[in-house]
Structure 1
Amino acid sequence: MKTVLREGIQPDDGAEFLIFIPRAEEVVKGILSDQAYDIPSDPDTVEEADMKLPDWFDENKFKQGCRFFWDFCLPHTFSMFIGFVGAISIPTIISVLVGTQKSNTPYTAYKRYVSTYLHVLSWFSNDLKPGSVSWRSLNTVRNRHMRAGKSARLKNQGKVSQRDLALTMFGFVGFSVLNPHKFHITQLNSGDMEAYIHAWSVIGSLLGTQDRYNICRKTFDETQQVLQMLVDEMYTPCLENVPEYFEHSARVLSQVSTVFVSFVDADFLIYWTKHLCNVPGYIYTEGDRIDLQKKLRKLQNGADDIGIDSMELIHKCELATPPTRCRLLYLKDYDTVADSPAYKNLPFKSKFNMALFYVSMGFYSTFIGRHILNLYYKFLMYLAQHFPYIAILRYGFKNAFVNMFKEDDKDPTPPKLNSEYYMKNKETWYQATYNVLMLCIVCCYCFCCIASLVY
């Protein structure tokens, strides 16, 4: 029987041979629907789950996607950290995350997120077949999702749904596919990006995501469309009005990242996440500033410089947290990037880190820079797995080592409210000086490590 593919056209009941391929708009509409939230990520019991490769799995394409990850392992990793910050702005996701009590303190967050990233590394480092390390890893993660979902339902804290799986996957793959130019990720061979998308599509399927809710589509263009629509309709409004415990969760996550890269801080991560998700006012380049002023002028419609509610610049999302405050944007505040309110309120350390990130990514865009910084990244990953000296100093020798197949530790300590982080004291000159000196020491240490690896 001949199979016919017709994009975006629902088959009639009599056309059994017709395969329905939804357009990007229909995929996103399905992900954000109530039905997607009602469908759990997996059956109620581990025994009922059947993990198998999808029919459309292409082994050669999957291996090409794995190679592409390692070709740009540093920016892919950083985009995932940014993606994690975005994911915890989704109310249903952070509700389950906080309810597990496995990432509410710096130590438990270290155990959870390092374990998660070790799982990711195993998926791109081993053959994907039954009995392999990556297969065992995927099965472990899937079982944890089942237990977390069941626990959340019993506590009336939500569930792990098909929608949550799709939105969480965005955290792993979204920004590196949607904004590869901002991370200086480029194809080295034809089809690299589509192969990378295929690899994540397979991983998502093995973790229980149904094909109709899989954000990694068959082509690069369609995947970008889906990702951009999810940013506009979900991530931007959620980051504009973050749910309770977002600030706390983002900050414990930033402490985990310092185990790998010492210059990353929470304010930098949050600002950069909002910048990538086009949250109004979170600008960094002159082009961003000009675009924002054009939008404000259009909404003012020739009137004096009146404040424009930030919600008028973003898509309304019924799933986002209701606005708790009105944030007004004034045209005069965006004559320069340095004087824009969100950037101006950043600590000097965060501004320095942002500049350092830009310089590092500029160096990474060169052939030599990419190979040197990839080598340095692999060196850091080796230390994190075999001799995590920073974690040893923080949590003790025994607690510093992470076994990704072992259940994460729990801590009943409740997370802090967002309001506790909003009451920040103004940074003093001596605090800024101390932070810069410490960053310079860290940069010198990193330079010495890179030089020793190269020479």
Structure 2
Amino acid sequence: MENGKHIKSDSNFAKSVSTEDTVKEENPEAVKYLEHLLKDGAVEEDDGRDLELPPWYDEKLFKNGQRYMKKYHFVIFSGMLSGLVAVLAIPSILNVLICTRQSSTPATAYRRYARTIFHVLAWYDYPLQKGSKFWESLNMVRKAHLRSSRACGKLKVGGITQKDMALTQFGFIGFITLGAPRIRLYDQDFLEGTSHMWRVLGYLLGIKDEYNICGENWEVTKMRLDIAMRKVYRPALDNASPDFFQMTKSLLNGLKPVNMMLTPGSFIFFTKRLAYCKGYEYYDEDFPNKVRIPNQKQYFNDLGWWDRFLVSYGLFLVTYLHQYSIVRWYLNLRVWVIQFLMYYFPIGAFFKYGIKWSYVRIFASSSEYDTHDD
């Protein structure tokens, strides 16, 4: 980024926040939360408090959230990837990513998002206790965020705010939890455990309780996620800037050497469908009242044949087959193999980025992450 020429005004973004759904009676608490987040959260940053567990931490509930990674590995990571794509549509977050120059090319995006994957896996795999790799990972991520925030602040781009962190939280859990019924996933324990786990993670990463998109229980979390999706994410995706598409292409093309089924066309379609953007419906149930709208443009028809196949194949798998244990086992195994190879033998990346660049480590003392990555 040079002289801030790519910066999209956050005030313009605030004006674009959706005023649709006015016919729907909004929950007053949800409205109050979102207004506070978008106004006050946009000027407050991480206060730099010590890394300590919150007083409301529930160990049993947290571990319950962790264990669902084994059961729903495929859809959790698919939802997170769509969430990461959606996050790029939020101008203030996109500006910071452009400023840090860690995601603007496929090569840099590969390393950044490989680290993100390995950190998330650490949060699901290791025990939450001081001295563990879980704790080490969180500490590294938080310090990196603070460094990036200070650096971008000096360049007049703006730091990482409470609003940015809370909306990024949505990226990690919003689609998989709100979209659970769309894949026939009616597991209340999963929703409660996941909500509490990410509430704790948000707190440890510097989000104040008043801004945390995850509340004291799933009902509160659902309320906040729903209004954020409809009022923030949907209009942001509908009005995404050219930089969004460029960064999304870098993200997905960057990871493509380790997963050939990641294409910008199909994943942008998946993401906009999850946010209920008009024109990105696929099944009848995607439409309001489950009735197709005559003559409405369908962006599926604009996709190339390979992207149309990936969308049709992917949606059929998760909508109708994921509910069966044998299919979940197959899909989970496939993702586990990809992640195993990505860590130990990323052969596809070797040819595109070279052997040295292809290996990503988050805990090695010589890790690039520890020196200047965000």
TM-score interval for Structure 1 and Structure 2 normalised by the shorter chain: 0.7 to 0.9
How far the C-alpha of 1:293 sits from its partner, in A, is 7.3
Q: Would the aligned equivalents of 1:281 and 1:292 in 2 still touch at CA under 8 Å?
A: no
TM-score of the aligned structures, taking structure 1 as reference length: 0.71
Correspondence for 1:389 among 347, 360, 369: 347
| 1:227 counterpart SS class | helix
> Kindly tell me: are residues 229 and 404 of structure 1, through their superposed partners in 2, closer, same or farther at Cα, counting changes over 3 Å?
same
Task: Give aligned-pair identity as a percent.
Answer: 31
Partner of 1:98: 98
Correspondence for 2:29 among 23, 27, 34: 23
Partner of 2:182: 182
Correspondence for 2:245 among 247, 250, 266: 247
How far the C-alpha of 1:36 sits from its partner, in A, is 0.8
Partner of 1:351: 308
Larger relative helix fraction: 2
How far the C-alpha of 1:26 sits from its partner, in A, is 2.0
- State how far apart, in whole Å, the 2-side matches of 1:129 and 1:410 are: 26
Partner of 1:173: 173
The one-character-per-residue Cα deviations of 1:386-412 (angstroms, maximum 9, x if unpaired) are 11111112111111100124335989x
Partner of 1:427: none
Trace 1:393-408 onto structure 2 (pairs within 5 A): 393-405=351-363, 406-408=367-369
How far the C-alpha of 1:69 sits from its partner, in A, is 2.1
Q: Would the aligned equivalents of 2:284 and 2:291 in 1 still touch at CA under 8 Å?
A: no
- State how far apart, in whole Å, the 1-side matches of 2:307 and 2:37 are: 35
How far the C-alpha of 1:166 sits from its partner, in A, is 0.2
Partner of 1:423: none
Aligned-partner residue type, residue 146 of structure 1: L
- State how far apart, in whole Å, the 1-side matches of 2:112 and 2:100 are: 11
How far the C-alpha of 1:290 sits from its partner, in A, is 6.7
How far the C-alpha of 1:159 sits from its partner, in A, is 1.2
Partner of 1:82: 82
The one-character-per-residue Cα deviations of 1:39-95 (angstroms, maximum 9, x if unpaired) are 11244xxxxx41100001111111111001221011000000100111010000000
Partner of 2:334: 376
Correspondence for 2:224 among 226, 239, 244: 226
Q: Would the aligned equivalents of 1:51 and 1:139 in 2 still touch at CA under 8 Å?
A: yes
- State how far apart, in whole Å, the 2-side matches of 1:374 and 1:288 are: 26
Structure 1, unpaired ranges of 5+: 1-21, 44-48, 295-330, 335-339, 412-455
Partner of 1:440: none
The answer to whether 1:41 aligns with 2:46 is yes
Partner of 1:266: 264
Q: Would the aligned equivalents of 2:276 and 2:286 in 1 still touch at CA under 8 Å?
A: no
> Kindly tell me: are residues 137 and 220 of structure 1, through their superposed partners in 2, closer, same or farther at Cα, counting changes over 3 Å?
same
- State how far apart, in whole Å, the 2-side matches of 1:24 and 1:246 are: 27
The one-character-per-residue Cα deviations of 1:158-201 (angstroms, maximum 9, x if unpaired) are 210000000011000110111113345442xx623201110111
- State how far apart, in whole Å, the 2-side matches of 1:83 and 1:281 are: 19
TM-score of the aligned structures, taking structure 2 as reference length: 0.86
Q: Would the aligned equivalents of 2:285 and 2:291 in 1 still touch at CA under 8 Å?
A: no
Aligned-partner residue type, residue 78 of structure 2: F
Q: Would the aligned equivalents of 2:122 and 2:137 in 1 still touch at CA under 8 Å?
A: yes
How far the C-alpha of 1:222 sits from its partner, in A, is 1.7
RMSD: 2.1
Aligned-partner residue type, residue 401 of structure 1: Y
How far the C-alpha of 1:263 sits from its partner, in A, is 1.5
Q: Which 10-residue stretch deviates more, 251-260 or 210-219?
A: 251-260
Task: Identify the structure with bigger relative contact order (alpha carbons < 8 Å, sequence gap 6+).
Answer: 2
The number of residue pairs the alignment matches comes to 341
- State how far apart, in whole Å, the 2-side matches of 1:183 and 1:260 are: 26
> Kindly tell me: are residues 184 and 261 of structure 1, through their superposed partners in 2, closer, same or farther at Cα, counting changes over 3 Å?
farther
- State how far apart, in whole Å, the 2-side matches of 1:288 and 1:407 are: 43
- State how far apart, in whole Å, the 2-side matches of 1:367 and 1:293 are: 31
| 1:75 counterpart SS class | helix
Greater gyration radius: 1
Q: Would the aligned equivalents of 2:74 and 2:332 in 1 still touch at CA under 8 Å?
A: yes
The answer to whether 1:52 aligns with 2:52 is yes
- State how far apart, in whole Å, the 2-side matches of 1:365 and 1:397 are: 39
Q: Would the aligned equivalents of 2:284 and 2:290 in 1 still touch at CA under 8 Å?
A: no
Q: Would the aligned equivalents of 1:116 and 1:404 in 2 still touch at CA under 8 Å?
A: no
Runs of 4+ that moved beyond 6 A: none
Trace 1:246-395 onto structure 2 (pairs within 5 A): 246-289=244-287, 291=289, 333-334=295-296, 340-361=297-318, 362-395=320-353
